C-alpha cells in the first residue's frame, strides 16, 4: 500500500486548508471542507475492507450510497492539519442509505466529521445532480462577505449584481451568481436542506451573519470562487459609504459574456 499522506488529493487538501487559515477565513475551528474521492484511487492507499468504526450521520442520502469522502473533523483547527492530518481529517464511506459512515482512515483519538456534515452531503447531492464533475464542498467565514450581510439587502439578484459590479472578473468567475440564506441555526438538517436547495442554481451560497458555502470540480475552482467573491465584497465594504461615480454597466457585462463565452444568470442583467 502507498502512503495515504502522499495521495494527491490529500496533499492538495492539506495545502488548501492551510491557505484558508492563512487568509483568515477559518478562525479557531471554524469552517469545513469535504472532497468526494474515487474508489479506484483509494484502493492503492487503503484496505477498503478494513472499517475502523461506524459513525451515525443523522440524515439520509441514498444518492451517496457507497461514496467516499475526505472530510475535516469537528472541533479541529485548520492551522493544525498540516502537522497532524490523521487527527484532523478522516476518510469515510457512506452506507445504509447515508445513515451511517464507515471510517476507513483518520479522526484518531475518537474524533468524527464536521458538525456540518449533513449540509455538506446534501450539497453534494444537489451539485452532482447539476454537474457530476462537482466533487468539492467548502465552507468558511470570509470577513467581508460576512460584513456585507449586515449592510446590504439579502435579495439574491441585488446581492449578486453588487458583487458583479465590484470586479470585472466576477461575472466571468461566477456567472451563476450568489444565492443567499437568512440567518439559520448551523449544524442542523434544516440549514443543510436549505443550502442544498440553493446549490441547485448556484455554486456559492451565503449564510447571512455566518459565512459562505462553495462547490466546484476541484479545490482550486472552489477556493477561487470564494476568493473572488470575497475580494468583491472587500471592495464593496470599502466604498459602500461613498457616492459611486463609476460602475461596471450591464452593457459592459454583456460584453464580458460575449468575450468569455459565458452567460450571466437569467434575468439578472438588463
With contact defined as beta carbons under 8 Å apart, do 77 and 29 qualify? yes
Q: Count Cβ neighbours within 10 Å for each residue of 150-182 and write b for 16 or more, e otherwise.
A: eebeeebeebbbbbbbbbeebbbbbbbbbbbbe
Closest C-alpha to 74, from 61, 99, 57, 93: 57
In 100-218, which ranges are continuous DSSP H helix? 117-130, 143-151, 156-166, 170-173, 189-199
Burial environment of residue 217 by CB neighbours within 10 A (0 to 12, 13 to 18, 19 or more): middle
Active-site pick, 9, 116, 227, 234: 116
Provide the Cα torsion 264, 266, 269, 270; round to 10°: 140
CA–CA distance, 102 with 92 (Å, rounded to integer): 5
β-pairing, 179-181 vs 204-207, is parallel
Question: Which three three-digit cell numbers place residue 15?
Answer: 495545502
The secondary element (H helix, E strand) that includes residue 250 is helix 250-260
Cell of 150: 449586515
> Catalytic annotation on 116?
yes
d(CA 270, CA 262): 16
> Any idea which residues carry the catalytic annotation?
116
Amino acid at each position: 500500500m502507498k502512503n495515504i499522506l502522499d495521495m494527491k488529493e490529500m496533499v492538495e487538501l492539506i495545502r488548501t486548508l492551510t491557505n484558508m487559515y492563512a487568509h483568515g477565513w477559518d478562525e479557531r475551528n471554524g469552517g469545513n471542507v469535504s472532497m468526494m474521492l474515487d474508489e479506484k484511487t483509494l484502493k492503492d492507499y487503503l484496505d477498503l475492507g478494513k472499517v475502523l468504526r461506524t459513525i451515525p450521520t443523522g440524515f439520509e442520502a441514498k444518492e451517496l450510497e457507497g461514496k467516499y469522502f475526505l472530510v475535516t473533523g469537528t472541533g479541529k483547527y485548520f492551522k493544525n492539519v498540516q502537522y497532524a492530518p490523521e487527527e484532523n481529517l478522516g476518510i469515510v464511506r457512506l452506507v445504509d442509505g447515508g445513515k451511517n459512515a464507515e471510517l476507513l482512515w483518520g479522526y484518531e483519538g475518537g474524533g468524527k466529521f464536521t458538525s456540518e456534515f449533513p449540509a455538506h452531503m446534501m450539497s453534494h447531492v444537489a451539485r452532482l445532480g447539476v454537474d457530476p464533475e462537482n466533487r468539492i464542498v467548502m465552507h468558511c467565514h470570509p470577513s467581508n462577505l460576512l460584513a456585507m450581510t449586515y449592510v446590504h439587502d439579502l435579495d439574491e439578484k441585488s446581492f449578486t449584481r453588487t458583487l458583479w459590479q465590484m470586479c470585472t472578473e466576477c461575472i466571468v468567475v461566477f456567472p451563476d451568481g450568489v444565492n443567499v440564506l437568512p440567518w439559520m441555526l448551523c449544524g442542523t438538517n434544516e440549514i443543510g436542506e436549505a443550502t442544498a436547495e440553493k446549490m441547485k442554481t448556484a455554486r456559492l451560497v451565503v449564510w447571512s451573519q455566518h459565512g459562505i458555502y462553495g462547490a466546484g470540480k476541484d479545490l482550486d475552482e472552489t477556493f477561487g470562487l470564494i476568493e473572488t467573491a470575497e475580494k468583491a465584497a472587500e471592495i464593496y465594504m470599502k466604498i459602500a459609504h461613498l457616492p459611486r461615480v463609476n460602475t461596471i454597466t450591464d452593457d459592459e457585462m454583456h460584453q464580458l459574456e460575449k468575450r468569455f463565452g459565458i452567460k450571466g444568470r437569467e434575468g439578472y442583467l438588463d
